[in-house]
Chain A
């Protein structure tokens, strides 16, 4: 539940980005995500959704504009300070991006690497009991404690994405950023992943911004929708007044 005065976890002002110098992918984006809110970012392929999410983390440097992440202005931060800010954000990708040859548990432990240092979180066999138990708790929250020691490449797509969420939880994040987290999953697994996100966000009071091509997901699992078209925000409204037909019209 977001109160009116809660500080924003993510503020973006006048963000522009072009990969080749003359075709803008983002042209002056402004929006803010208040703490505790769930925001869905929608738009056609090439509208700039993924670029926007990556610019919000400075995984891609924007050409101009400001990003405040968890209350910290990213521009001009040293590499180590930028890493410290990123460590508070759980980024979940379309592809789970787990390390395939390591166990689920080791992958989850990696979520703690920037907090505890490499030595403690590199490999589950070398981690402390406290850290191992925290990682097991993260696995429990996504319902996968029973596959802790299985290799990541032996898991199904839906399980892998849930392990990736457990890894994000291991970061003890304030904000979850998810780039089409359900797009490469079958409809049932996709719904499970989105429902899991939604529940975690509600129970733990996290903030979340996710992109999706599934308009029913966007309406069902977000509080607010921000739509991009040609690199600009064309709609920014609470879900309550929106329906699929209205949203679909934005793609035409």
Chain B
């Protein structure tokens, strides 16, 4: 019976939750209030969603079967889309390398270059590629060149950052060995930093090719070349069966690029 006396009473049990401060409680309330307000502003409505189901059914009905009438034109547009992504990625990756070297703290020749390179990469990354496409459509005209340029800029923002991180994390031992042998900065980068960071460079580049393929599809919507414009025209003309063909083609391209890229990434490791 003495054991029973040792069992702690309900009042002496530890708290189930941490006590929250008044400030944290108010912060939770503010976030909740903002969410409710945002739901109203965005017009989220269950009844509209339910009312839209028949409309959606009709749309799918009109999409089936997908039209094969303009298959050849769709195929060419798809190829152009991938070519934009491919050229944009290759050029972007090549331009990223020197910018990333400047943006790597211990490799940058001067703090001024370092800060310029870092901020340039951050700026390229934070502005969405669609905005770059709009700017290039205005400056170089409608067509795939504008889209390719947008992808180049987007890749510098993406690869520049990851390349710099990979080089920063590269083992310093071989770099110290090269310095001790009297090698200059450029030799040190070429002989020890690039070989060490190469698997990461290749992975990042393949991943950015996947990303570029997806975004090149969208860039057509603002007239920057590729299959996006075909999709927009088909939708605007209510040719939903043709739109379905285009959507399936995009899906096939993206899946194909992702598969090939993940296969190649496995091989590099």
Contact = CB atoms under 8 A, between A and B. Distances in A.
Interface string B158-191: 0000000000000101101111111110110011
B176 A113 contact: no
A106 to B, nearest CB: 8
Contact of B198 (A88, A89, A91, A101): A101
A99 B192 contact: yes
A99 B173 CA distance: 9
A185 to B, nearest CB: 16
A229 interface: no
B176 A99 contact: no
B195 A99 contact: yes
B193 to A, nearest CB: 9
Given A101-B196, A113-B187, A171 B181 contact: yes
Contacts of B174: 97-100
A114 B187 contact: yes
A85 B183 CA distance: 11
A83 B183 contact: yes
Taking residues whose C-beta sits less than 8 angstroms from the other chain, chain B's interface range is 20 to 34
Contacts of A100: 171, 174, 195-196
Most buried by B among A83, A87, A164: A83
Interface in A16-51: none
A85 B182 contact: yes
B187 A99 contact: no
B173 A101 contact: no
B196 to A, nearest CB: 7
A72 interface: no
Nearest to B198: A101
A29 B187 CA distance: 33
A125 to B, nearest CB: 13
Contact of B178 (A57, A90, A110): A110
Contacts of A98: 174, 177
Q: Is the interface of B mostly helix, strand, loop or mixed?
A: helix
Given A97-B174, A100-B196, A101-B196, A59 B180 contact: yes
Given A99-B195, A110-B191, A113-B191, A91 B178 contact: no
A59 B187 contact: no
B176 A114 contact: no
A90 B182 CA distance: 10
B194 to A, nearest CB: 9
Interface string B107-146: 0000000000000000000000000000000000000000
A217 interface: no
Interface string A50-67: 000000010100000000
A195 B129 CA distance: 61
Contacts of A90: 181
B180 A83 contact: no
Most buried by A among B176, B181, B187, B198: B181
Nearest to B199: A101
B181 A110 contact: yes
Contact of B177 (A83, A84, A91, A101): A91
B122 to A, nearest CB: 30
B183 A93 contact: no
20 contacts: A80-B184, A82-B182, A83-B183, A85-B182, A86-B180, A87-B182, A89-B180, A97-B174, A99-B174, A99-B196, A101-B195, A101-B196, A101-B198, A110-B178, A110-B181, A114-B182, A114-B187, A122-B190, A164-B177, A167-B177
Interface of B: 171, 173-174, 176-184, 186-187, 190-192, 195-196, 198-199
Which 3 pairs between the two chains have the least Cβ-Cβ distance? A87-B182, A86-B182, A114-B182
